[in-house]
A and B are shown apart, each in its own frame.
Chain A
């Protein structure tokens, strides 16, 4: 029984995928679990795995091509099996979305392509039944052939003639045209043209869609406070001295940890808005915004409230590296309950962040700057940092947010309070 290979929903929000690279070729033997191809989802580059043992046939998508989720892209047949025979309903290969989807319940459910999407390929081509079968088995796109039979019917000899030509001109498994290089993130015009239209990458499309569902429909309000970071800096220096070459604690790690701990004391802010209910989380999973080429993504540090600082630091580093190389797995960027966005390293004093729905809040962290501050009636230079919390007013009221922010501020200003 042949198993259809579909473009799978490899991220919870994925609606289409770009086939980056085939690992297996037409006619290759494949085993369950083996990587058939790399697919760029809206979030990352993922491996598309074989769901059956057999021979890969009918590779219908070229590298570089983008196709909707649910689209047939190949078939796995038993050795010697005729393609097209015993295809059954064709649903065998359809799979549930990636496991992370159950965590990231609020994300739009992955959709299989509607019939209309597939119909684009069904434009009638006149071909003999044999020619159709041969084309399927050899992965040739009949539309690219000129039929020599009556009325342009594609017949066996047309397939045979085509087979004698270089494969690239007829094979659907090879790109019909050279795959355009991925657009540079910041296009630089060298042609003198007044503008350049750059197609949206998968990740940019997702950012556009996701953020438009945030700041528009989600009623944001913002709370800003300035935090004295002198004690945090002292603590960080002391810890790093102690750690020596065993690792380093950054301000960001301290902020992540403090945020997580503060959330355990303000469950009202560790919540998801779910249309007809609010889900208050008992676990704290902190999403950490990471800038990547051409976009951003928020990998998640799970249970950050109970993890040691050093581990948070190590995880944050790993996740950021993976994010930048676009190798994050769905479970690594879904399911956060609250997010932190830090632009301190870019010398931003203060900013407001857009909430990552369905979370109810996000902290925007500015840079730590030395400022003259009145302390006990004396002006002293102090390291200060501005944090701004964006709140979803449907979940968090002003006082609620302020209460959380106060706790966070206290923890950062007196890191020992984290022990309480």
Chain B
């Protein structure tokens, strides 16, 4: 199996889907001539031409709306946001148009659109450019939200998102684009709504998604050295959410820690905890703990930024607490 970066896995998915279906096109800031702010669209303009790889002005609301209109007309747009921090400007099109038109048209007008781009903090991009938006987006009925953590999942979920007849949000990660992993060639589609056990364990379940999968796996290794067997469950899909896999894991381990990049209040972890307490109540040996970004705007200062982010150490500490080891 070839080893690819997350970036190239996305590129492969886009290329394959554009080859497969002429109604698929890519649109966004710098996706064409510049080949993408993060080089995800490298080579696509050359291969598919300016009708299918469309550079836009700096006008998120405008090109998101063009995308929704194109989807209404029968195309399958992939809208790239340079980051989700900028996509806030386009939320009206995403929330009020893309997510609602199928409903408001009485099921007559599907919107097969993908909105994608990097989400969450990178390094020292400060408060306005270091935000995790998944709980905003996953809150909305009418949207599907996926957040792949590995190159293979990035390819498989982006392909599934493009083929889906509903608006799908694909949350990527600036810090993930350079990560490498084995990626199946060709037809590799990861179904939306399925979590993935990234590491099996018996003593505590670490639930994570996107960028927190990395610190969760590191935490599991550290815990192993301390005699605690941690199971790492990658949500992959935030809406719909794979309750079955989460519950099965917690029923097995009896303890759970949920990690996410977002803020604690009304976060994705809050939704996970709701599922766990409801469906696995009698299996819980300890309250579920959450590891999140500190409940503050992201500091620019390097040390403070590190202190504010979820980390393997924070996940280990929480796991030890739910195991009553500290």
CB within 8 Å of B: which residues of A?
Answer: 82, 84, 128-133, 148-150, 155-157
Contacts and interface: CB of A to CB of B under 8 A. Distances in A.
B282 A131 contact: no
Contacts of A128: 284-286
B282 A84 contact: yes
Interface of B: 254, 281-286, 324
Given A128-B284, A128-B285, 14 more contacts: A84-B282, A128-B286, A129-B282, A130-B282, A130-B283, A132-B282, A133-B283, A148-B324, A149-B324, A155-B285, A155-B286, A155-B324, A156-B285, A157-B324
Residue among A82, A129, A148, A150 with the most chain B CB within 10 A? A129
Contacts, number: 29
A138 to B, nearest CB: 14
Majority DSSP secondary structure for residues of B touching A: loop
A82 B324 CA distance: 26
A128 B284 CA distance: 7
Contacts of A148: 324
B324 A129 contact: no
B285 A131 contact: yes
A118 to B, nearest CB: 21
Given A155-B324, A156-B254, A157-B324, A149 B282 contact: no
A131 B283 CA distance: 8
Contacts of A132: 282
Contacts of B282: 82, 84, 129-130, 132-133
Contacts of B254: 130, 156
Contacts of B286: 128, 149, 155
Contact of B283 (A129, A155, A157): A129
B167 to A, nearest CB: 38
A149 B324 CA distance: 6
A134 to B, nearest CB: 9
Contacts of B285: 128-131, 155-156
Contacts of A130: 254, 282-285
20 contacts: A84-B282, A128-B284, A128-B285, A128-B286, A129-B282, A130-B254, A130-B282, A130-B283, A130-B284, A131-B285, A132-B282, A133-B283, A148-B324, A149-B286, A149-B324, A150-B324, A155-B285, A156-B254, A156-B285, A157-B324
Nearest to B277: A129
Contacts of B281: 129
A133 B251 CA distance: 12
Contacts of B284: 128-130
B186 to A, nearest CB: 44
A156 B252 CA distance: 13
A130 B324 CA distance: 14
Which 6 A-B pairs give the minimum distances between C-beta atoms?
A130-B285, A156-B285, A128-B285, A133-B282, A129-B284, A129-B282
Contacts of A133: 282-283
Contacts of A131: 285
Contacts of A84: 282
B284 to A, nearest CB: 5
A81 B283 CA distance: 15
Contacts of A150: 324
Contacts of B283: 129-130, 133
B315 to A, nearest CB: 20
A233 B88 CA distance: 114
A132 to B, nearest CB: 7
Residue among B254, B281, B282, B283 with the most chain A CB within 10 A? B282
Residue among A149, A155, A157 with the most chain B CB within 10 A? A155
A272 B282 CA distance: 56
A58 B324 CA distance: 27
A155 B254 CA distance: 10
Nearest to A148: B324
A277 B268 CA distance: 73
Nearest to A128: B285
Contacts of A129: 281-285
